[in-house]
C-alpha cells in the first residue's frame, strides 16, 4: 500500500517520534559524543560505522553509504514502501493519522479517472467478441491472466472512451492531462484506438498510465504509452511489480524483461518473479525500487544488438545501487515470451540457473567485439578485459584473471600488470580532479573520502562561517557523500555544544585518509571573505547543474533506445528543456 496519509499528519508523526528511540528498539546503539553509533544493520561489519544523529534526526552509515530519516530507516529495515513505513511507525507509537483529503492537488481525482478508463477498456475486452480478445488469445494468454493484469481493449472508433468519461463527469482537461485523449481544432479524440491496453499500476495499486499495442499490422507506432503526467513518471515504475514484488522477495531475485508481453507470458507460465522496464532504458529510480524487494536481479533481455546494449547499460545502473546482477539471453534470438511458450517453465528456469554473472557477461560481450584470430584483436581484447576486471573486487579479480588468462593462453601476470597500470592512471586522474578548487562542475563521486567539487566548496564555506551550516541544513541534498555528511555532522554538533568549530577536535575523529582530504580542502579551496554569499549561490547553481547533467545523460541514453515515435519526441522535448535549464544556470557564470 502506498502513502494515503496527509502531509501534515506525516510531518506530525516525524516530529513526534525520535529516530534514536526508533532505531534503538532494533539495533544496539552506543553513545559517541553527540551522536550514537552501532554496527550497521544494512551491511556486515565488526567495527561500528553506523551513526545516528539526534539533532538532525538522521542516520548515516560511513561503511555502506545508507542514510536517511526515520521513514527511510523503516523502509529499508523492513522492506516497506513509504506508506507502509508510515503506518508501522504510527501503529507502534499510537499516533492517529489523517487520510489525504480533497486538498491533495487533485491527484486522487486523476487516479480515479485512470481507474475509470482502465475499467472501460477491461469491460470492452471481456463483454463480447472483439479483435483485441482474439489477438491476445492468439498469443496464448488465458482469461485468468488477462484478468490478473487487467488487460483491456480500445476500439477503433474515435470517441468511445471520451464519451464514456464525459458521461461520468470527467473534464476535458483531466483527460488531456493524463494523455487519454488528444486535441485537434478544439475537438478531443481518443488517443488509444484499435489497441490492446496494458494498464500500468504502481505498487500502491493505483492505475498510473497505459501501454497500448497496435492491432493493425502497419500502425504508426506498434506500442503507444501514456505520456508522462502528474501521476505517471516512467522512470519511477516497473510494469508488473504491483503483482510480482512479493514473489521477488520469496524467491530471492527478480527477473527483469523488456516488454509487457514477456512479463505477462512468463508469469502465466509460472515464472512469477518478473517485471518489465517497458520502453525506457533502466533508470536509477527503478533500480532503487527493485532494491526494496530483492538484492539480486537477472536481466532477461532480447538477444539482438539493442537488447545486449540495454543489458550492458542495465548492469552499470543496478551495480551502482549495490544489486547483484546476472544476464541471460534466450537461445535462437527469441524473446522470453516466445521461449517460455515453446519450451515451458523448466527450460526457462534452466537458463536462469545458467545466467552469466555480470562480469563474465561483460567479458563475453567484449570478446565478441574483437577478432581474436588476429594479434591486434587479441591485444585489444586483453586490454578491454583488463579494464573490466580492474573495476572488480579482489576476489572477483582473482577469479576472472584466471579465466581470461586460461582462455587466451597468457599468464595472469600479464593481466595483473595491465590492471595495475589502469588503476594507476585512474587514481592520477582522480588526484587531478581533487586538487582543483574553483567552484565549477564536477562529477559526483561517492566513495569513502570522495567528495564532489560542490561539497568541497561547501565544507570550506561552513568551516569559515558557521552560518552556512544552517543554510545547508535547509537544503540537505546539497551534500550527499558520506564523508561530506560526516564533516557536516561533526561541525554542526560542535557548534551546538561549544558555539564554535574547533578544527583539531574535528580532525581527531577522522581517519588518516580523511584528514588528508580535510586539510587539502582547508588549504586549497579559496573563498573571498567578502563574497561568501555569492560563493554559496554559485555552489548551489553548480549542484543544480550537476543534477541536470546526469538527467541529461539518462535522457540521451533513453533516446538511444527508444523506438516509439511518441516516446522519441517526448524525450527530445525533455532533453531540450533540461539543456536550456543547464544553460540558464551556467551561461553567465
Candidate segments 60-68, 296-304, 410-418, 433-441, binder of Zn ion by CB under 5 A: 60-68
Candidate segments 39-47, 279-287, 369-377, 564-572, binder of Zn ion by CB under 5 A: 39-47
| Residue 465 to residue 481: CA distance in whole angstroms | 21
Interaction of residue 43 with Zn ion, rule CB under 5 A: yes
Cite the DSSP H helix spans in 139-283.
Answer: 143-149, 160-167, 172-177, 241-251, 260-268
Q: What is the CA radius of gyration of the chain?
A: 27
Contacts of 394 (CB under 8 A, 6+ apart): none
Task: Choose, by CB under 5 A, the member of 13, 61, 165, 180 that binds Zn ion.
Answer: 61
CB of 62 or CB of 462, closer to Zn ion: 62
**Residues touching Zn ion: how many (CB under 5 A)?**
6
| Residue 90 to residue 571: CA distance in whole angstroms | 40
Interaction of residue 37 with Zn ion, rule CB under 5 A: no
What minimum distance in Å lies between the beta carbon of 294 and Zn ion? Answer: 18
What minimum distance in Å lies between the beta carbon of 29 and Zn ion? Answer: 14
Interaction of residue 221 with Zn ion, rule CB under 5 A: no
Interaction of residue 40 with Zn ion, rule CB under 5 A: yes
CB of 90 or CB of 484, closer to Zn ion: 484
Candidate segments 59-67, 119-127, 311-319, 541-549, binder of Zn ion by CB under 5 A: 59-67
Ordered DSSP codes for 78-132: HT--HHHHHHHHHHHHT---PBP-TTTTTHHHHHHHHHHHHHHHHHHHHSS--HH
Cβ atoms of residues 227 and 570 within 8 Å: yes
Interaction of residue 446 with Zn ion, rule CB under 5 A: no
- Residue 345: which of 271, 273, 275 has the closest Cα? 271
What minimum distance in Å lies between the beta carbon of 511 and Zn ion? Answer: 16
What minimum distance in Å lies between the beta carbon of 63 and Zn ion? Answer: 4
Candidate segments 34-42, 206-214, 360-368, 532-540, binder of Zn ion by CB under 5 A: 34-42
Helices first, then strands: H and E counts in the chain: 25, 16
CB of 33 or CB of 65, closer to Zn ion: 65
Cβ atoms of residues 213 and 195 within 8 Å: yes
Interaction of residue 150 with Zn ion, rule CB under 5 A: no
| Residue 364 to residue 333: CA distance in whole angstroms | 17
Task: Choose, by CB under 5 A, the member of 64, 221, 306, 414 that binds Zn ion.
Answer: 64
What minimum distance in Å lies between the beta carbon of 49 and Zn ion? Answer: 6
Candidate segments 58-66, 347-355, 495-503, 572-580, binder of Zn ion by CB under 5 A: 58-66
Rounded to 5 degrees, what are φ and ψ at 352? -60, -40
Residue in the block written with cell 567552484:
439
What minimum distance in Å lies between the beta carbon of 357 and Zn ion? Answer: 23
Interaction of residue 63 with Zn ion, rule CB under 5 A: yes
Contacts of 189 (CB under 8 A, 6+ apart): 158, 159, 162, 181, 182, 183
What minimum distance in Å lies between the beta carbon of 5 and Zn ion? Answer: 29
Interaction of residue 42 with Zn ion, rule CB under 5 A: yes
Interaction of residue 259 with Zn ion, rule CB under 5 A: no
Torsional sign, CA 244, 298, 280, 140: negative
> CA geometry: angle at 197 spanning 195 and 198, to 5°?
145
What minimum distance in Å lies between the beta carbon of 41 and Zn ion? Answer: 8
The SS3 assignment for 304 reads coil
CB of 37 or CB of 579, closer to Zn ion: 37
What minimum distance in Å lies between the beta carbon of 45 and Zn ion? Answer: 7
CB of 63 or CB of 439, closer to Zn ion: 63
The site for Zn ion (CB under 5 A) is made up of: 40, 42-43, 61, 63-64
Amino acid at each position: 500500500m502506498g502513502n494515503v496519509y496527509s502531509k501534515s499528519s506525516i510531518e506530525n508523526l516525524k516530529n513526534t517520534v525520535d529516530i534514536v528511540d526508533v532505531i534503538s528498539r532494533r539495533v544496539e546503539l552506543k553513545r559517541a559524543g553527540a551522536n550514537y553509533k552501532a554496527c550497521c544493520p544494512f551491511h556486515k561489519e565488526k567495527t561500528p560505522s553506523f551513526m545516528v544523529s539526534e539533532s538532525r534526526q538522521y542516520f548515516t552509515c560511513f561503511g555502506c553509504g545508507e542514510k536517511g530519516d526515520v521513514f527511510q530507516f523503516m523502509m529499508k529495515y523492513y522492506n516497506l514502501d513509504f506508506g507502509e513505513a508510515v503506518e508501522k511507525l504510527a501503529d507502534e507509537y499510537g499516533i492517529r493519522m489523517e487520510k489525504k483529503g480533497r486538498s491533495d492537488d487533485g491527484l486522487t481525482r486523476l487516479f480515479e479517472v485512470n481507474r475509470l478508463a482502465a475499467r472501460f477498456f477491461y469491460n470492452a475486452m471481456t463483454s463480447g467478441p472483439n479483435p483485441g480478445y482474439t489477438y491476445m488469445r492468439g498469443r496464448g494468454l488465458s482469461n485468468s491472466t488477462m484478468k490478473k493484469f487487467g488487460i483491456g481493449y480500445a476500439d477503433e472508433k474515435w470517441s468511445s472512451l471520451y464519451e464514456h468519461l464525459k458521461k461520468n463527469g470527467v473534464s476535458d482537461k483531466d483527460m488531456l492531462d493524463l494523455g487519454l485523449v488528444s486535441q485537434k481544432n478544439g475537438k478531443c479524440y481518443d488517443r488509444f484506438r484499435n489497441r490492446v491496453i496494458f494498464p500500468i499500476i504502481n505498487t500502491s495499486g493505483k492505475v498510473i498510465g497505459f501501454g497500448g499495442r497496435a492491432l493493425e499490422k502497419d500502425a504508426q507506432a506498434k506500442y503507444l504509452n501514456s505520456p508522462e503526467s502528474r501521476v505517471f513518471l516512467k522512470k519511477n515504475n516497473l510494469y508488473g511489480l504491483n503483482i510480482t514484488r512479493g514473489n521477488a522477495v520469496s524467491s530471492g531475485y527478480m527477473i527483469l524483461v523488456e516488454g509487457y508481453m514477456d512479463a505477462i507470458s512468463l508469469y502465466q507460465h509460472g515464472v512469477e518473479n518478473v517485471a518489465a522496464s517497458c520502453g525506457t532504458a533502466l533508470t536509477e529510480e527503478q533500480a532503487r525500487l527493485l532494491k526494496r524487494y530483492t538484492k539480486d536481479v537477472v536481466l532477461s533481455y532480447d538477444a539482438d544488438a539493442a537488447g545486449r546494449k540495454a543489458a550492458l547499460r542495465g548492469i552499470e545502473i543496478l551495480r551502482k545501487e549495490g544489486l547483484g546482477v546476472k544476464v541471460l539471453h534466450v537461445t535462437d534470438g527469441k524473446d522470453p515470451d516466445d521461449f517460455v511458450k515453446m519450451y515451458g517453465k523448466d527450460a526457462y528456469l534452466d537458463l536462469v540457473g545458467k545466467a552469466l554473472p555480470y562480469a563474465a557477461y561483460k567479458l563475453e560481450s567484449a570478446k565478441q567485439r574483437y577478432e581474436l584470430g588476429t594479434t591486434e584483436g587479441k591485444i585489444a581484447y586483453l586490454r578491454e578485459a583488463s579494464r573490466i576486471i580492474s573495476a572488480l573486487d579482489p576476489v572477483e579479480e582473482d577469479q576472472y584473471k584466471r579465466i581470461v588468462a586460461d582462455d587466451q593462453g597468457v599468464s595472469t601476470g600479464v593481466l595483473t600488470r595491465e590492471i595495475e597500470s589502469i588503476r594507476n592512471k585512474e587514481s592520477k586522474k582522480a588526484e587531478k580532479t581533487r586538487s582543483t578548487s574553483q567552484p565549477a562542475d564536477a562529477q559526483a563521486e561517492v566513495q569513502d573520502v570522495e567528495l564532489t567539487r560542490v561539497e568541497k566548496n561547501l565544507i570550506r564555506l561552513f568551516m569559515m562561517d558557521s552560518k552556512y551550516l544552517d543554510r545547508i541544513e535547509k537544503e540537505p541534498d546539497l551534500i550527499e557523500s558520506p564523508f561530506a555528511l560526516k564533516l557536516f555532522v561533526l561541525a554542526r554538533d560542535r557548534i551546538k555544544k561549544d558555539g564554535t568549530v574547533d578544527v583539531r577536535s574535528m580532525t581527531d575523529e577522522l581517519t588518516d585518509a580523511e584528514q588528508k582530504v580535510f586539510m587539502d580542502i582547508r588549504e586549497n579551496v579559496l573563498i573571498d571573505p567578502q563574497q561568501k554569499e555569492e560563493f554559496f549561490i554559485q555552489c548551489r547553481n553548480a549542484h543544480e547543474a550537476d543534477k541536470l547533467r546526469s538527467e541529461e545523460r539518462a535522457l540521451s541514453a533513453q533516446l538511444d533506445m527508444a523506438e516509439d515515435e511518441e516516446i522519441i519526441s517526448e524525450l527530445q522535448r525533455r532533453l531540450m528543456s533540461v539543456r536550456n535549464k543547464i544553460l540558464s544556470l551556467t551561461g553567465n557564470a
